[in-house]
């Protein structure tokens, strides 16, 4: 099983009057990859954004229930959201490097959060992050060059390096390979497998093959409800709910 790091209890989310999540109860285990799967509009990305409170940025969005990380309710009014987001990194659907150099992209979070004291410490953290993201050998001689000059797959690995530079506990990935070609996708999937030994990863994916390849546990969402969660192999070979079976076999979705 593993040790629970994220726990959602009776989580509901509304966009104005529309209910996007209904009574979601889900535990996510430490240093594992958990995939969230389901048809478009089923609530999986909404749930993902609950974990770092990105839904706070949507005025019409209302959260109900309890969501804890390491036992702390992250929706407690006393929680510092900036501090929370250093613990919960995010990688988006499309690579979104800043229009800065490769080096400045990785250094950004370290500088704004004051996490690297000396210049040598900053350099060490940048190198560690790029090595962890499998990018160092490709960019070490061009750290001062614009990040936007990298290929799509390299840009996404740079975004992963930027996310892990501050050493978060959790990394959220929202369809991180949907804008990439199959070769770049395979590189990112290998990277996810490698870094899951150090980080807890929650990934939203439309690709069931990807969920099967990268995750230990899978949660299936449908119409805003969590239908089923369990060991990935069991979910794909012996689902307990007919709706999960219908999605996996392509009858719905």
| Domains and their CATH numbers in the chain | 4-248 (3.40.50.300)
Cβ partners under 8 Å of residue 1, min gap 6? 29
> Which residues are bridge partners to 171 per DSSP?
89, 201
Q: How open is the CA angle 71-72-78, to the nearest 5 degrees?
A: 170
Low-confidence ranges of the chain (pLDDT < 50): none
Separation between Cα atoms, residue 5 and residue 11, nearest integer Å: 16
What pLDDT digit, counting tens, does each position of 48-75 carry? 999 999 999 999 999 999 999 999 999 9
Element (H, E) at 231: strand 225-231
Instruction: Please report the pLDDT score of residue 253 as a whole number.
Output: 64
Separation between Cα atoms, residue 194 and residue 187, nearest integer Å: 11
Separation between Cα atoms, residue 103 and residue 127, nearest integer Å: 9
Q: How open is the CA angle 164-165-167, to the nearest 5 degrees?
A: 65
Cβ partners under 8 Å of residue 233, min gap 6? 212
> Which residues are bridge partners to 135 per DSSP?
none
Task: Please provide residue 252's backbone torsions phi and psi, each rounded to the nearest 5 degrees.
Answer: -130, 160
Separation between Cα atoms, residue 44 and residue 35, nearest integer Å: 10
The residue behind tokens 């797959």 is 153
Separation between Cα atoms, residue 125 and residue 164, nearest integer Å: 10
Instruction: Please report the pLDDT score of residue 199 as a whole number.
Output: 96
Separation between Cα atoms, residue 88 and residue 83, nearest integer Å: 9
């Amino acid at each position: 099983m593993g040790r629970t790091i994220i726990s959602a209890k009776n989580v509901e989310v509304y966009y104005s009057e529309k209910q996007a999540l209904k009574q979601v109860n889900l535990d996510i285990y430490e240093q594992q990859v958990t995939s969230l799967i389901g048809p478009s509009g089923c609530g999986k990305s909404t749930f993902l954004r609950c974990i770092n409170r990105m839904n706070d940025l949507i005025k019409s969005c209302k959260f109900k229930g309890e969501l804890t990380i390491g036992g702390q309710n992250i929706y407690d009014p006393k929680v510092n959201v900036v501090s929370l987001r250093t613990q919960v990194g995010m990688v988006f659907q499309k690579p979104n490097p800043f229009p800065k150099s490769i080096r400045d992209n990785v250094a950004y979070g370290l500088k704004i959060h004051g996490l690297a004291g000396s210049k040598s410490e900053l350099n060490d953290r940048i190198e560690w992050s790029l090595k962890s993201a499998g990018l160092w050998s490709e960019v070490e001689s061009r750290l001062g060059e614009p990040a936007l000059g990298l290929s799509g797959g390299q840009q996404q690995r740079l975004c992963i390096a930027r996310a892990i530079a501050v050493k978060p506990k959790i990394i959220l990935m929202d369809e991180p390979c949907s804008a990439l070609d199959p070769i770049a996708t395979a590189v990112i999937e290998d990277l996810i497998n490698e870094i899951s030994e150090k980080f807890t990863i929650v990934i939203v994916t439309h690709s069931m093959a990807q969920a099967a390849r990268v995750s230990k546990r899978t949660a299936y969402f449908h119409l805003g409800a969590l239908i089923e969660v369990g060991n990935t192999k069991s979910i794909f070979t012996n689902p307990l709910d007919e709706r999960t079976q219908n999605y996996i076999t392509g009858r719905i979705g």
